[in-house]
Structure 1
Amino acid sequence: MTKALTPPVAKKVPHEMEIHGHKRTDNYYWMRDDKRQNDEILAHLKAENDYCEAVMTPQKSLQDQLFEEMKGRIVKDDSSVPVKDGRYWYTNEVSGEEEYGRHYRALNEAMDDKSLLLDVNELANEFEYYELADLTVSPNDNLLAYSEDTDGRRIYTVKFKDLTTGQMLEDCLLETEGEVIWANDNRTVFYVKKDLQTLLGFQVYRHVLGTPQSEDVLVYEEQDSQYYMGLGKSRDDSQIFIYLSATETSDVLYLDAEQPMGDFQRLLARQEGHEYGLDKFGEYYYLLTNSDAKNFRMVRVALDAVNDPSQWQELIAHRKNVLLEGLELFDSHFVITEREMGQIRFVIHDYSGASYQLGFADECYFAGLGYNPEPSSTSVRITYSSLTTPSSVYECDLATGQKTLKKQVKVLGDFKPQDYASERIHITARDGEKVPVSIVYRKSLFNKDGTNPLLQYGYGAYGYTIDPVFSSSTLSLLDRGFVYVIAHIRGSEMLGRQWYENGKKANKENSFNDFVDVTRALITQQYGATDKIFASGGSAGGLLMGAVMNQAPELYLGVGCHVPFLDVLTTMLDESIPLTTNEYDEWGNPNQLADYETILSYSPYDNLAAKDYPNTLVTTGLHDSQVQYWEPMKWVAKLRELKTDDNVLVFKTDMDAGHGGASGRFKSLHEKALEMAFFISLLPQPTD
């Protein structure tokens, strides 16, 4: 790869900041424009895009080839497994070259008499970006509510359709979080309103169909900006829930779904550090709680005794090495999702105390509960995938555990699962902890002799676990000899709650050390060639990339850094920026000296230095509401100023997208093709 142009050079305007007696100078602070209308900033982003395009021009044919490969593996005409919800069966279908699907329902599983609910292609037709979020039908099956985002900032508009006439209602709810919950009267809905400055949901409103939004009633407002807000309905449809969650604390309010004009009541007294999930079924609440249980335990309690922990009946005790992740209630059984040594399994319980485990044979895989709207069902839908097995849907008999494969996603072309192999290994980090690592490669192109290119992916934050799932697009790398690796570093919950806590706040450095130590061990164990190692991560994984590049830049030939959280200290000091205050429990509050010093020690932007860095591709979205575009923009400018190498640094901003990148099932493949082409082009080219 050659640099085709002189890269854009940003002007420097010193901006002084001081707190705790410590001064910092940010020469690129001027790049922030909350309104995204500053001509100079937009011109600089365009110059960066032009430079990226020019640098990547020699790889244009490779990008196109990769895109066509990835697109060519996707079945053009496809549909989801129908799911019964009430009287109807629901499915969505995609066809041909269309980016989006169509949603249907029918009175039988064969979908013989299906009727169209929504054609998302039609809705998205006039927009560069389109996301359909919530799609929910009223209890009497006659009305449809759906929410849409047309600019990528996750600010949703809710619309309504009469399914008996096919006509749209006049009701339109603006500036929402996207969730819509129906009361049982079929005319009242609840939704969360966004704060347009912080982009946090903080108010719950009640809307009665046929009235203007201006008359909607505020039923709850959260004063503590550390809490995320969501809505839900109990398993038996008798209660509506407001879910409030900070990083380390849960809170739930409830309302009788038959009495939508009533007041929400707090279920449990808010207690800092108490996290729980719950559902209601019949006369009981069922809770997964961390009260006296770091990895959670399950209890059942009568409705009128929920505030008396002495009345909680423990159904599943806490176990040190087993994390309880989920619960689904049925009439005859309940299903618990557990994780032990990084591996997911399901345990099916009847209400008398008997249970059995339901698992899969792969060495490493991901499985999750599918959509199971009917508690009367005698079977549970489970989704399954591994690094070598495409996404599959199983129906499992609750009484016997017998699994029936309902569908496996088809991969077009010459894909054969037996041509690939996956492994789960554990690598000892510098402090002695063993880090799980998932690995996949094409057997015929891998000899474990230290010659293969290797791409290592990581995230490591918020307790979110990157599970080993199948990706048809990754085949384009595997078929070119790449080894693909997921490092399950601290900051996830791969090995339980303690694994997460050991990778956050004052322990954040463990995430970066784990990633670097995994890379070094993989080289030592000859999974990858010393001079062909790549790394990639997005969002908090972009922070990981920035920190790793500062710690051990010599390890990586190329890095992909996507919608990256790079300016951690400045962002966490600015409460006007979306998501700042409710993430103090994740990163720390730098208004406190100890947290300030911790964040300062690793914040990628603050720790850039005059030294060699890897070839780097950075991507973002102008309308990103989670990590603002100016974080990577500033970081790229400062990196260009300081780096002492001749390696490539390119920065691409999608001027129409937000945090999730391009919308549609094919458009997003262009972004993947760009990164793959960037990495492949850096490899030593074979000589004749």
Structure 2
Amino acid sequence: MSPAPLTAPIARTVNGPDPYVWLEERDNSAVLSHLQAENAYLEVELAQQAELREALFSEIKGRILETDLSLPSPWGPWLYYQRTTAGDEYPRHYRCPRPTDGSLTVDPLQEQLLLDPNALADGGFISLGAFSISPDHRLLAYSLDTQGDEIYQLYVKDLASGAISALPFEDCDGSLTWANDNQTLFFGELDDTHRPHKLYRHSLGSDSAELVFEELDGRFFLHCYRSSSERQLILLLGSKTTSESWVLDADTPLGQFRCMAPREDEHEYDVDHGLLDGEWSWLIRSNQSGINFALYCVKESAASESAPERQHWRELLAHDPQVMLEGLSLNHDAYVLSLRVAGLPIIQVHPHGLPSYRVQLPDAAYSLSVQDTLEFASPVIRLRYEALNRPAQIRQLELANGAQQVLKETPVLGPFDADAYISQRLWATASDGTQVPISLVAKREVLGQPAPLYLYGYGAYGECLDPWFSHARLSLLERGFVFAIAHVRGGGELGEAWYRAGKLEHKHHSFSDFIACAEHLIASGYSTPAQLAISGGSAGGLLIGAVLNQRPELFAAAIAEVPFVDVLNTMQKPDLPLTVTEYDEWGDPTDPQVYARIKAYAPYENVAAQAYPAMLVVAGYNDSRVQYWEAAKWVAKLRATKTDTNLLLLKTDLEAGHGGMSGRYQALKDVALEYSFVLKVLGLQAAQNPNQP
């Protein structure tokens, strides 16, 4: 039987400059009723896709090895690893004795269950924050968010007895950092705007904690972590444009942190501790000589109370205007640099006493990173590598000679051949002549004729959308889709200058770049406006909202997840989480010029009486980063203003936060919903996976 017809919910308006401001009243029953009505409307409109949604979910799930063992990580006398089991939402955390032969073979008969998030969740939301083993391997410190609001409860578990202690602290950011005495923990506290602003020191067995540091500047977040050498604790204070590091010997946790270099506006730096030329040293990544960062060092013996200043830093690697120094990893035998060259990640290894080299990889476009290792003294490190057509691999790299070994590749069950897909790097020309990279993947036989195309974008905070593999995406590719990523300005794919060219007064470049990518894909015969779906989340949702206002005729469908679309109103509310820290990204609208600039592109403000493509908008009721009402207000204004009859749907996860629902199966159901929406809009809802009988 068909579901009863249901009309789209129409939100009431109020007098004033923001007619839908009442939707910000979280505890108002009318607000909850409106969100529930929107959810019900979505289910009715997509009821005919219920079978397809279930088929997509089963199809995606069928490619994933549900019962699996992660690659064990050796540390001290143990191997640490995770197991996933069919039917469980979360992996369980284990350890077993480390084999004497140096292998990574797990002994199930001797393994010890450390933490089971499935039991802790009990069917509800749960997100694991810290998972930190004490240096002597006796204790586990961990943190849990059970609401999706990214506020954590702290726990310590005795791994011998199984006894668990809940630490009596509130408003915690979820971080937990051990000192080397195995008794002292450092943790962060959130302020009213959800900013980690205080660092506390806690001794086990005590009901109190000592305030170690308080950051009063609302632009700065604090974060405490252990150095690579395990000999130092580092407190990093950072805004979007400025940073400052304080350090403390991990063997003397009751001592005082000391500053490596006092903050100066626009100076960003971070530090790590390890060996250089046989001496314990600090290595510093700093932008003091150029926006793409350079590498410096200072011997530990020189970094005394009287001489940690920047004038004592010795340059190891000079600034290069063509190469971005993104990160640094230290090991007993080498230091390893994460670089970005021509939009691609590069790993450059500097073994002690040997020539440096760059890691060689098989694909033209890919994602690559140094995976954190548990042990400082090791002749090898691990790299994570993947491409649009290649599942994630964990590769072991021998630091001395560059030899690689694939230790584990994420399995894909059922028919799959990476070579059946072709991955490309294209370049679109933006309105100002700038060349904008596009990463693209499709089945080989699809290319050469216009096809349904799913275009994804983000373009903010200097984040890099490096090509990644997706089990779920295969369901689109197998149905003849092309998948593409627009690497627009505002991201970090082409270095710091690329980021700066898409923020503040240059934010409009993000939108024009995305439009240029869409136009290039259409002009080059990859797709047509009637076959083009676009998607983005959070700040990428702002991107989607802006381009829909500017060029709605280019697209057939759009998905905006937890979209930051009410940017002008949000940036005028400094009491909201994260607002003040965002001024360096978007600007402070108390400045009339900034106000006018943001107002000119803010998606909510610029909804117009025009035809829009079909749209699916997703929000999280407990989202502390992008409040649920941004999506709700935007959809309400679109419903009242747009001139078309195309589908407009709002889904609010009433028990979720910024990342959506917490379990792996629920996440797959969310993807199945989005894909079924796209297939419906493009008239492909009856399409079956050719690989299915």
TM range (shorter): over 0.9
Instruction: Verify: 1:117 aligned to 2:110, yes or no.
Output: no
Q: CA deviation at 1:321?
A: 1.0
TM-score with structure 1 setting the length? 0.95
Contact 2:236/2:270 (8 A) holds in 1: no
Contact 1:448/1:528 (8 A) holds in 2: no
Alpha-carbon spacing, 1:160–1:278, altered in 2? closer, same or farther (3 Å): same
3-state SS of 2:623 partner: coil
In the alignment, the residues of structure 1 paired with residue 247 and residue 211 of structure 2 have an alpha-carbon distance, to the nearest angstrom, of 15
Q: CA deviation at 1:79?
A: 1.3
Contact 1:366/1:386 (8 A) holds in 2: yes
Q: CA deviation at 1:293?
A: 1.7
Q: What is aligned with 1:222?
A: 215
Pairing of 1:267-416 with structure 2 (within 5 A): 267-282=260-275, 283-303=280-300, 304-305=302-303, 307-352=308-353, 354-416=355-417
3-state SS of 1:93 partner: strand
Q: CA deviation at 1:115?
A: 1.2
Q: What is aligned with 1:18?
A: none
In the alignment, the residues of structure 1 paired with residue 199 and residue 576 of structure 2 have an alpha-carbon distance, to the nearest angstrom, of 21
Q: What is aligned with 2:203?
A: 208
In the alignment, the residues of structure 2 paired with residue 3 and residue 447 of structure 1 have an alpha-carbon distance, to the nearest angstrom, of 42
Q: Aligned residues, how many? A: 671
In the alignment, the residues of structure 1 paired with residue 519 and residue 90 of structure 2 have an alpha-carbon distance, to the nearest angstrom, of 42
In the alignment, the residues of structure 1 paired with residue 422 and residue 385 of structure 2 have an alpha-carbon distance, to the nearest angstrom, of 17
Q: What is aligned with 1:19?
A: none
In the alignment, the residues of structure 2 paired with residue 413 and residue 13 of structure 1 have an alpha-carbon distance, to the nearest angstrom, of 55
3-state SS of 2:167 partner: strand
In the alignment, the residues of structure 2 paired with residue 59 and residue 324 of structure 1 have an alpha-carbon distance, to the nearest angstrom, of 47
Instruction: Verify: 1:28 aligned to 2:20, yes or no.
Output: yes
3-state SS of 1:656 partner: coil
In the alignment, the residues of structure 2 paired with residue 518 and residue 459 of structure 1 have an alpha-carbon distance, to the nearest angstrom, of 13
Instruction: Verify: 1:235 aligned to 2:228, yes or no.
Output: yes
Instruction: Verify: 1:85 aligned to 2:85, yes or no.
Output: no
In the alignment, the residues of structure 1 paired with residue 364 and residue 265 of structure 2 have an alpha-carbon distance, to the nearest angstrom, of 38
Structure 2: 5+ residue stretches without partners? 99-103, 688-693
Pairing of 1:209-608 with structure 2 (within 5 A): 209-212=204-207, 215-282=208-275, 283-303=280-300, 304-305=302-303, 307-352=308-353, 354-444=355-445, 446-450=446-450, 452-608=451-607
Contact 2:346/2:368 (8 A) holds in 1: yes
Q: CA deviation at 1:144?
A: 0.6
Runs of 4+ in 1 over 6 A off after TM superposition: none
Contact 2:125/2:661 (8 A) holds in 1: yes
Q: CA deviation at 1:263?
A: 2.1
| Structure 2 counterpart of 1:176, from 172, 190, 209 | 172
Q: CA deviation at 1:3?
A: 11
Q: CA deviation at 1:85?
A: 2.0
Q: CA deviation at 1:670?
A: 1.1
Contact 1:204/1:221 (8 A) holds in 2: yes
Q: CA deviation at 1:94?
A: 0.6
Contact 1:71/1:669 (8 A) holds in 2: yes
Contact 1:571/1:580 (8 A) holds in 2: yes
Contact 2:141/2:155 (8 A) holds in 1: yes
Which digits, 9 at most, give the CA deviation of each residue in 1:426-457, with x for residues without a partner? 1111111100100001123x13222x011100
Contact 2:242/2:266 (8 A) holds in 1: yes
Contact 1:542/1:563 (8 A) holds in 2: yes
Q: CA deviation at 1:201?
A: 1.0
In the alignment, the residues of structure 2 paired with residue 249 and residue 411 of structure 1 have an alpha-carbon distance, to the nearest angstrom, of 43
Alpha-carbon spacing, 1:615–1:398, altered in 2? closer, same or farther (3 Å): same
Q: CA deviation at 1:238?
A: 2.0
1:42 is aligned with what amino acid?
A: L
3-state SS of 2:390 partner: coil
Which range is displaced more, 432-441 or 109-118?
Answer: 109-118
Which digits, 9 at most, give the CA deviation of each residue in 1:166-220, with x for residues without a partner? 221353443211110111111110100112x3111111111111111xx211111
Contact 1:3/1:55 (8 A) holds in 2: no
In the alignment, the residues of structure 1 paired with residue 342 and residue 166 of structure 2 have an alpha-carbon distance, to the nearest angstrom, of 52
3-state SS of 2:639 partner: helix
Which range is displaced more, 505-514 or 410-419?
Answer: 410-419
Alpha-carbon spacing, 1:586–1:170, altered in 2? closer, same or farther (3 Å): closer
Which digits, 9 at most, give the CA deviation of each residue in 1:94-123, with x for residues without a partner? 111111111111222312232111112111
In the alignment, the residues of structure 1 paired with residue 194 and residue 480 of structure 2 have an alpha-carbon distance, to the nearest angstrom, of 43
Instruction: Verify: 1:131 aligned to 2:127, yes or no.
Output: yes
Q: What is aligned with 1:69?
A: 59
Contact 2:261/2:309 (8 A) holds in 1: no
TM-score with structure 2 setting the length? 0.95
Structure 1: 5+ residue stretches without partners? 16-24
Q: What is aligned with 1:20?
A: none
Which digits, 9 at most, give the CA deviation of each residue in 1:488-528, with x for residues without a partner? 00001101100000000000000000000100110000011
Which digits, 9 at most, give the CA deviation of each residue in 1:344-366, with x for residues without a partner? 11111023472011031201000
In the alignment, the residues of structure 2 paired with residue 408 and residue 516 of structure 1 have an alpha-carbon distance, to the nearest angstrom, of 36
1:209 is aligned with what amino acid?
A: L
1:167 is aligned with what amino acid?
A: A
Determine what percentage of the aligned residue pairs are the same residue: 41
In the alignment, the residues of structure 1 paired with residue 505 and residue 534 of structure 2 have an alpha-carbon distance, to the nearest angstrom, of 24
1:449 is aligned with what amino acid?
A: Q
Q: CA deviation at 1:651?
A: 0.2
Q: CA deviation at 1:276?
A: 1.2
In the alignment, the residues of structure 2 paired with residue 370 and residue 386 of structure 1 have an alpha-carbon distance, to the nearest angstrom, of 16
Contact 2:49/2:685 (8 A) holds in 1: no
Which digits, 9 at most, give the CA deviation of each residue in 1:138-184, with x for residues without a partner? 11111110111111111111101001212213534432111101111
Q: What is aligned with 1:150?
A: 146
Contact 2:676/2:685 (8 A) holds in 1: no
1:429 is aligned with what amino acid?
A: A
Contact 1:159/1:173 (8 A) holds in 2: no
Contact 2:367/2:468 (8 A) holds in 1: yes
3-state SS of 1:26 partner: coil
